[in-house]
Amino acid sequence: MMGYAALHPSYNPLMTTATPTHVLRGIFFLLLALVFFAVLDATVKQLTATFAVPFLVWARYAVHCVLMLIFLAPSLRGQLVRTDHLGAQIVRALMLLSTTACGVFAFRTMPLAETTAVIFLSPLMVALLAGPMLGEKQRAGRWIAVLAGFSGVLLIAHPGGALNVVGVLWALGGAVSYTAYQILTRRLSHHEHPMALLFYTALVGTVAMSAVLPWYWHQVTPTTTQWLMLWSMGILGGSGHYLLIRAFRLAPASTLSPFLYVQLVWAALLGWLVFDHLPDGWTVLGMLIIATSGLWIALGEHKGERKGEHKPT
């Protein structure tokens, strides 16, 4: 998905001491980031009616990359590109690029809220894989939450519903890619500068999509309004990522993670206001099940951290 980039609870690079003031500021930055991401997704969905998906993905990453070079490169200099894990950085960036592309394809045929809800399966998948891949202790509650989350997707895509099955599959593909991205983020966040993590996603996405851009550049000439919307994608995405990093530096990730599901509310609201779409009863139930499952895992991890059980390798 274009906007969804909420980091997994273990992503907590360079966190400052979490005083009550810091925690409140962290929550505020997170909630503001989620607004940016929801508006970004609505903008992308609007543009999919006119532009090819590869062009939109390129615009999202290119503007983001240019903004980082203009505003951060002069002060960070070598820190922006310094890495001891270049291969993992590239693979991680490609996973986010795949998430973005799958999300945009899903937006062409699915509403905002439903697409967002399906990709929110990703934290559940990470929880399922955290044991064998990250050495984290597995609890029965995780398995129950994951199974419940997948049942929520089945309700969203229930037979006889109005959703396009291909769109659901694209969204599921985005969730899988985003799961790989989050796992790599958890591994790299303990060793890499957070701005380097952010820059490599923008750089790799820009380079990869620039390779296919010539086939799509001349298909449609954007109007002035559309150019502004294209630029806003990079601004909203880059600013949202920056706010996320600030949030996770100010407050414990286990405190912030339950608030991530506020994005579902924004997606449903914008889907109604902008696209005049309201989910049916079964879809709403499926979304609630996915959100509840994610919250269950997030609160369980918070409890585990307080007991000293959450110790990723």
The whole-angstrom separation of Cα 92 and Cα 88 is 6
In a domain, 92, yes or no: yes
pLDDT at 300 over 80: no
Cα-Cα-Cα-Cα dihedral of 255, 291, 28, 309, to 10°? Answer: 10
pLDDT at 8 over 50: no
pLDDT for res 134 = 60
Global pTM reads 0.84
- Residue-wise pLDDT for 18-52, tens only, equals 577 788 998 999 999 999 999 999 999 999 999 99
pLDDT for res 77 = 87
Q: Of 76-85, 152-161, 234-243, which range is least confident?
A: 152-161
For 267, the domain range is: 20-306
141 C-beta neighbours (distance < 10 Å), count: 15
In a domain, 1, yes or no: no
Q: Of 98-112, 210-224, 229-243, which range is least confident?
A: 210-224
Percentage of residues in the chain having pLDDT higher than 90: 46
pLDDT for res 301 = 62
In a domain, 36, yes or no: yes
pLDDT band at 250 (very low <50, low <70, confident <90, very high): confident
pLDDT at 220 over 70: yes
In a domain, 12, yes or no: no
Q: Provide mean pLDDT across the span 196-224.
A: 90
- Residue-wise pLDDT for 134-156, tens only, equals 666 667 677 788 788 888 888 88
In a domain, 38, yes or no: yes
In a domain, 8, yes or no: no
Domains held by the chain: number: 1
The residue ranking higher by pLDDT, 146 or 121, is 121
pLDDT band at 67 (very low <50, low <70, confident <90, very high): very high
The residue ranking higher by pLDDT, 84 or 189, is 84
In angstroms, how far is CA 134 from the centroid of its own chain?
Answer: 20
Mean pLDDT value across the chain: 84
pLDDT at 307 over 60: no
Measured in degrees and rounded to the nearest 5, phi and psi for residue 11 equal -80, 105
Nearest to 28 by CA among 218, 184, 246: 246
pLDDT band at 123 (very low <50, low <70, confident <90, very high): confident
pLDDT at 224 over 90: yes
- List the structure tokens of 50: 């006119």
In a domain, 13, yes or no: no
In a domain, 195, yes or no: yes
Is the CB of residue 151 less than 8 Å from the CB of residue 113? Answer: no
